[in-house]
Amino acid sequence: MPDIESIIQQMTLEEKAALCTGEGPWTTTPIPRLGVPRLVVSDGPHGVRHPMDVNQIGSLSHPATCFPTASSLACTWDVDLLREMGEALAEECNALGVGVLLGPGNNMKRTPLCGRNFEYFSEDPYLGGELAASLIEGLQSGGVGASLKHFAFNNQEYQRFSISAEVDERARREIYLAGFEKAVKQGKPWTVMCAYNKLGGTYCSEHHWLLVDLLKEEWGFEGLVVSDWGAVHDRVASLQGGLDLEMPGPRPKRVQAVIQAVQDGVLDEAVLDEAVRRILKIVYKAAETPKGEPFDQEAHHAMARKIAAEGMVLLKNDGVLPLRKGLGRIAVIGRAAKSPHYQGGGSSHINPTMVAIPFDELQQQAGDAELLYAEGYPADDAFRQDLIDEAVRLAQDAQVALLYIALPAYKESEGYDRADLDLTAQQIALIKAVGDVQPNTVVILNNGSAVTMGEWINHVNAVLEAWMMGQAGGGAIADVLFGKVNPSGKLAETFPVKLPDTPAYLNYPGENGKVLYGEGLFIGYRYYEAKQIPVQFPFGYGGSYTTFAYSNATVSATSFRDTDGLTVSVDVTNTGAVAGKEVVQVYVHDHKSALVRPHKELKGFAKVELQPGETKTVTIPLDFRAFAYYHPGYGQWIAEDGEFDILIGASSADIRCTQTVTLQSTQVLPSLLNRESTIRDWMEDPRGKVVFGPMFQQIAAGMKQAMGGDMDGSEMIGIDMMTMLMDMTVLSILYFQEGALPAPPEQVVDGLLQQVAQLQ
């Protein structure tokens, strides 16, 4: 790599300003006289959407492998598989001359209504962070940069260019930023893409706390921050806020504004130099990898098929699956069987190298069975009873009915949110009608996020969630239906019974330009468990053609220090007749904490493959963060002394083994006591109790004597005086005793606080 500092010293102010804005829709600005090449970027994240004309933002893209979308990838719970996919994406980027792929997306699924949820991994930050990091590592191992997006709080498409997310500090840290943090620290992406929206009234493209204080300084991010396309409103303010590269270009007025701001002393040239420095490092890093070597399209198609099958989730199976050999007639119903719905709309739309048609793939594996096809539902939202009637006739004349049901693009896409969680009225009527006449009915779903099923699920025997399964998904569906692949996908998001049950229901989509994240920490399974709301299918759930038993759960220590962490082990046995894979999930429950915490949280997982009768020991490490939560008072992550349950299970609702451990905190934290602290605060603070304890005993004794020994006050006035006393501030209590004090109450409290400070 050239001497970056030397190049910066030789650059003119005009060249620096130009470098910080794109040359075109997909390229950075080169500086030929200094040998600075252009960097080519491309939309992703589940395929390379590289335009044939890089000067046109809507140009037809080169053929590339369309892998399954993130909602499917997440359900594999397989970090190694995502790393392999990243490596394959790097090969395709290099073949097409792309230096940075715009992805992965790692925003939390706050609401299943978000139209772009198909591009995001999960409702859980730990799972999302692990998967994003693995995909980044695989991609960058091939010399191609990742662009982790959309940073941050882009959890809805409604007013995404302007809405301000209003999020409390703990929810920010523990939910919406934690997945990004893991991906940044573990995956080390070359670039991070800012979101369109605002956070607390400030655009993410100008948010100094988000892009500088947190991302670059606290997390140690060394790459460049790029804007989402069109996210910059004020180029000078965005540079000051930590945004290095504005895309797309050209933007001559923006460039001139930067030049003028430096000349006028409004923008420190050192800030501009830092952006230039970060851009040059990535430009040269990308240039180190040779381009132009063709990729193996067949091999990548086969990989896409494998990944799609791994991500499919068997939601229901009353014994009809896998399909048995020797079937005479199979009714194949639904447009998606011949017109597959394998990817979402918007910037991630890929021009596939080939597409597996589900009907054709079924025919290849169905042997001598006759496949009968009915369209079932139209492409638009019209209700067609004739299509339902035709499907019913075919289903009655078959031994099995396979219903391929795809959520149409007009319901779910980048750019707008879903109005509901339902299938179309036609699709619901179709499923019910076919299920009522055919005892062996299987529904295969193609969608990007959760759908409700209450109206129709009891009418069918099996449901296979196939997601937006990529270009090879048609073959993957056939593999699962016929048992060539044993389904092992587990849900990365909860499927609710109905929309009003969802966590953000009362706070979505916002009003007056703001959306309040009023549910705080409680999104996804955290919310449903706290509210004890039944769900259709819980987080982490997924069926199989075999069964698994858990036994011999152990922990490395029953008492441990937070800095040492813990190792959890459990034996998993395949107790069925066919080989299969199981995802072992480890959740942590804190018995008692100073601040409210979810009932349990995912902190580890592993996917294991087992032959019939085989047993393997699965070992999962838990570090400090597995037990910690973010405390705004201290401004840091803390793990408190006390007991924790280690919950090992097959889903968030299916816990098979439990171990209880005791954590010993090594953190020395300052006291948070102040003039407004309650007696309870003082007595629960280790130092405060030492200092204030004797005075509290005197206060309590005096009140007890004044009330004739009846401290709870029940005989006199019917209230619990002790509880009331504990929630009063020390200052308030002292006001009632001011005449007996040696000094004003404020001075007495300040003296107590000084004693506490001396004990630290």
The burial of 220, by beta-carbon neighbours within 10 Å (0-12 exposed, 13-18 middle, 19 or more buried), is given as exposed
The burial of 96, by beta-carbon neighbours within 10 Å (0-12 exposed, 13-18 middle, 19 or more buried), is given as buried
CA atoms within 13 A on the CB side of 395: 28
* Mean of all residue pLDDT scores within the chain: 95
Q: Are 604 and 586 in contact (CB under 8 A)?
A: yes
56 vs 317, which has greater pLDDT? 317
Topology adopted by domain 548-664 = Immunoglobulin-like (2.60.40)
Confidence grade of residue 46 (pLDDT, cut at 50, 70, 90): very high
Rg (CA), the chain: 29
* Per-residue pLDDT at 712 exceeds 60: no
For the chain, give every residue range classified as CATH 3.40.50.1700: 301-537
Report pLDDT digits (tens) over 174-232. 999 999 999 999 999 999 999 999 999 999 999 999 999 999 999 999 999 999 999 99
C-alpha 226/C-alpha 245 separation (Å) is 5
Per-residue pLDDT at 737: 79
Assess whether 228 carries a catalytic annotation.
yes
The CA-CA-CA angle for residues 618, 622, 627, to 5°, reads 140
Q: What is the 3-state secondary structure (H, E, C) of 181-195?
A: HHHHHHHCCCEEEEC
Nearest alpha carbon to residue 429 among 456, 466, 448:
456
* Per-residue pLDDT at 621 exceeds 60: yes
Confidence grade of residue 707 (pLDDT, cut at 50, 70, 90): low
Confidence grade of residue 740 (pLDDT, cut at 50, 70, 90): confident
> What is the DSSP annotation of 473-501?
HHHHHHHHHTTSS------SS-EESSGGG
Residue 492 has phi, psi (to 5 degrees) of -100, 5
Nearest alpha carbon to residue 193 among 236, 133, 245:
245
For the chain, give every residue range classified as CATH 3.20.20.300: 39-53+61-246
C-alpha 163/C-alpha 154 separation (Å) is 9
Q: Tokens representing 296? A: 């193996």
Per-residue pLDDT at 710: 56
C-alpha 114/C-alpha 150 separation (Å) is 14
Using omega within 30 degrees of 0 as the cis cutoff, is the peptide bond preceding 46 cis? Answer: no
Per-residue pLDDT at 149: 98
Q: Are 287 and 1 in contact (CB under 8 A)?
A: no
Percent of the chain with pLDDT over 90: 91
Task: With H, G, I as helix, E, B as strand and everything else as coil, classify residue 404.
Answer: strand
Class of domain 39-53+61-246: alpha beta
Residue 304 has phi, psi (to 5 degrees) of -60, -35
Q: Tokens representing 424? A: 């179309």
C-alpha 101/C-alpha 91 separation (Å) is 12
Confidence grade of residue 709 (pLDDT, cut at 50, 70, 90): low
Q: Are 294 and 91 in contact (CB under 8 A)?
A: no
**Mean pLDDT (whole number) for 672-676:** 94
C-alpha 293/C-alpha 563 separation (Å) is 47
Q: Are 191 and 225 in contact (CB under 8 A)?
A: yes
C-alpha 109/C-alpha 107 separation (Å) is 7
Nearest alpha carbon to residue 459 among 318, 332, 323, 335:
318
* Per-residue pLDDT at 711 exceeds 60: no
Per-residue pLDDT at 39: 98
For residue 93, give Cα distances in angstroms to 79, 132, 248, 624: 21, 18, 19, 37
Report pLDDT digits (tens) over 489-510. 999 999 999 999 999 999 999 9
Element (H, E) at 465: strand 462-465
Q: Point out the catalytic residue in the list 228, 244, 681, 685.
A: 228
Ranking 201-205, 389-393, 679-683 by mean pLDDT, the lowest is 679-683
Q: Tokens representing 458? A: 């009891």
Confidence grade of residue 15 (pLDDT, cut at 50, 70, 90): very high
First to last CA, the chain: 49
C-alpha 537/C-alpha 654 separation (Å) is 11
Q: Is the dihedral of CA 536, 541, 543, 548 positive or negative?
A: negative
Per-residue pLDDT at 457: 98
Ranking 386-390, 404-408, 508-512, 695-699 by mean pLDDT, the lowest is 695-699
Residue 74 has phi, psi (to 5 degrees) of -60, -35
C-alpha 195/C-alpha 198 separation (Å) is 8
The burial of 551, by beta-carbon neighbours within 10 Å (0-12 exposed, 13-18 middle, 19 or more buried), is given as exposed
Per-residue pLDDT at 255: 97
The burial of 653, by beta-carbon neighbours within 10 Å (0-12 exposed, 13-18 middle, 19 or more buried), is given as middle
Report pLDDT digits (tens) over 119-141. 999 999 999 999 999 999 999 99
C-alpha 342/C-alpha 470 separation (Å) is 5
Q: Tokens representing 683? A: 């007595």
Report pLDDT digits (tens) over 539-580. 999 999 999 999 999 999 999 999 999 999 999 999 999 999
Nearest alpha carbon to residue 132 among 95, 57, 171, 185:
185
Confidence grade of residue 716 (pLDDT, cut at 50, 70, 90): very low
Per-residue pLDDT at 551: 98
Report pLDDT digits (tens) over 79-124. 999 999 999 999 999 999 999 999 999 999 999 999 999 999 999 9
One-letter amino acid identity for 302?
Answer: A
The CA-CA-CA angle for residues 525, 582, 575, to 5°, reads 125
Per-residue pLDDT at 721: 73
Task: With H, G, I as helix, E, B as strand and everything else as coil, classify residue 111.
Answer: coil
- Predicted TM-score (pTM) of the model is 0.95
C-alpha 460/C-alpha 401 separation (Å) is 10
Nearest alpha carbon to residue 574 among 533, 525, 624, 609:
609
Residue 270 has phi, psi (to 5 degrees) of -65, -35
Architecture of the domain made up of 301-537:
3-Layer(aba) Sandwich (3.40)
**Mean pLDDT (whole number) for 389-405:** 98
Q: What number of residues does the chain have?
A: 760
